[in-house]
Amino acid sequence: MERTLKRPEVLAPAGTLEKLKVAIDYGADAVYIGGDAYGLRTRAGNFSFDQMKTGVEYAHARHAKVYVAANIVAHEQDLPGAEDFFRNVQAQGVDAVIVSDPALIETCILSAPGLPVHLSTQASSCNWETLNFWQDEGLERVVLAREVGIEEIREMRKHTDIQIEAFIHGAMCIGYSGRCVLSNHMGLRDANRGGCAQNCRWKYDLFDLPQLGDKQSLLGTDDNGKPEAFSMSAVDMAMIEHIPDLIDAGVDSLKIEGRMKTVHYVSTVANVYSAAVDAYMRDPEHYQTDPAWVDELWKVAQRGMSTGFYYDTPDEQDELLGEQRKRPSYAFIGEVEHYDAATQTVTVQQRNNFGVGDHIEFYGPGFTHYAMTVEDLHDEDGEAIDRAPHAMQIVTFHCPHRVAPGDFLRGLKVRRHTRTHVQA
């Protein structure tokens, strides 16, 4: 008998209204955002209620959903005003809220009845009995702890029908499911209330401190004479090569981390995972990971990539130790505003310095790509220029391939006084 598969949702981060629109345009089925309170990313471009409404209208017009993260660990002083917050979120048409604190969960259920509640990964749900408990409490979805393995998810799916959401790409917190106290200890910034200082990403040395004399580094120096250093940081998660396992295990929502990441990151990662999921759903029996998807993710990967806890306990290969790993060499350089097919001229809003002679790549929704070398460049007045150095500058140049408004451009990061070209 032919098996029936359920297509999972591709859930992307949206730190700003622009990123929300980009994520949806580039394939995300849903986005998660933060409001002006109760979220764990106080430094992200969080949404006012008016912006929420605009984002929800944009998403719903394109058959996508919007979730609001309200996942802090609440102290007494955080609770006043929560009722109004959840009522206002519901009034904007938001599809669900993501909450971890039981007091906030109860407040939401009582003050905004009918507003779906998803349990945050901060609650560290690692077994199906816990999932059933939260379903009995009225929640419709659980975001699993990041320490859960793929076989554990299969077991959960056998014993519960609550929706399962799991992180499949992005930065991994060194703290257990994100519950870190290092930031508070070292900088009086409470990571569990939105103030994470990213202490685990800092570089550390190890010293011998004798009673007298200079302190001596125990780690030595590298080939350039600089002190060796280590961090407590994990590499990023990337499950692009394991989409069948995630879908077959019964994951309902594939979550991408990164509300503080760039438009370049959001568009690229949403595009890749949407393409992979669509390909698997079209033909699961003959599905293979496209190497182009992996290459695309490396263009925005920051710390290397790992499968986290899905298949085994992470080891030193999953940490930022030793020799620096592959880093992205591409920079986000612009967005297409218009394409004139008659003259084969593209109008671009510049976001990063580029110019004549640079090899660039256009990419767009649906995993479309086109690479070319810039042979001419003109400013808004039609004057020929060699480079576009000014942020948000409007430029035009000849492009023999049709591109579309909303497509993005990237190019190799260029060192000062040098120019390096992408290999076609």
pLDDT tens figures, 239-284: 999 999 999 999 999 999 988 899 999 999 999 999 999 999 999 9
Q: What angle do CA 254, 255, 260 make, to 5 degrees?
A: 160
Task: For residues 384 and 238, state if they share a domain.
Answer: no
* Residue type at position 109: I
Q: Residue 411: what pLDDT?
A: 92
Span 342-378, pLDDT tens digits:
999 999 999 999 999 999 999 999 999 999 999 999 9
Task: For residues 344 and 305, state if they share a domain.
Answer: no
Dist CA 84 CA 70 (whole Å) = 13
DSSP-assigned beta bridge partners for residue 237: 170, 306
Task: For residues 369 and 249, state if they share a domain.
Answer: no
Please check whether residue 67 lies inside any domain of the structure: yes
Q: For the residues of 257-279, what is the DSSP string, one character each?
A: P-TTS-HHHHHHHHHHHHHHHHH
User: Cβ of 105: how many Cβ atoms within 10 Å?
Assistant: 21
Please check whether residue 325 lies inside any domain of the structure: no
Q: What angle do CA 346, 369, 423 make, to 5 degrees?
A: 100
- What CATH number has the domain bearing residue 307? 3.20.20.380
Please check whether residue 388 lies inside any domain of the structure: yes
- What CATH number has the domain bearing residue 359? 2.40.30.10
* pTM, 2 dp: 0.86
Task: For residues 64 and 151, state if they share a domain.
Answer: yes
For 340, the domain range is 330-412
**Domains in the chain: how many in total?**
3
Helix (H, G, I), strand (E, B) or coil at 316: helix
Span 387-398, pLDDT tens digits:
999 999 999 999
> What's the helix, strand, coil split of the chain in %, to 5?
30, 25, 50
Please check whether residue 292 lies inside any domain of the structure: yes
Helix (H, G, I), strand (E, B) or coil at 308: coil
151 Ramachandran zone, left/alpha/beta (phi>0; psi -120 to 50)? alpha
Dist CA 162 CA 266 (whole Å) = 28
Please check whether residue 352 lies inside any domain of the structure: yes
Eight-state DSSP code of residue 15 = S
Task: For residues 346 and 208, state if they share a domain.
Answer: no
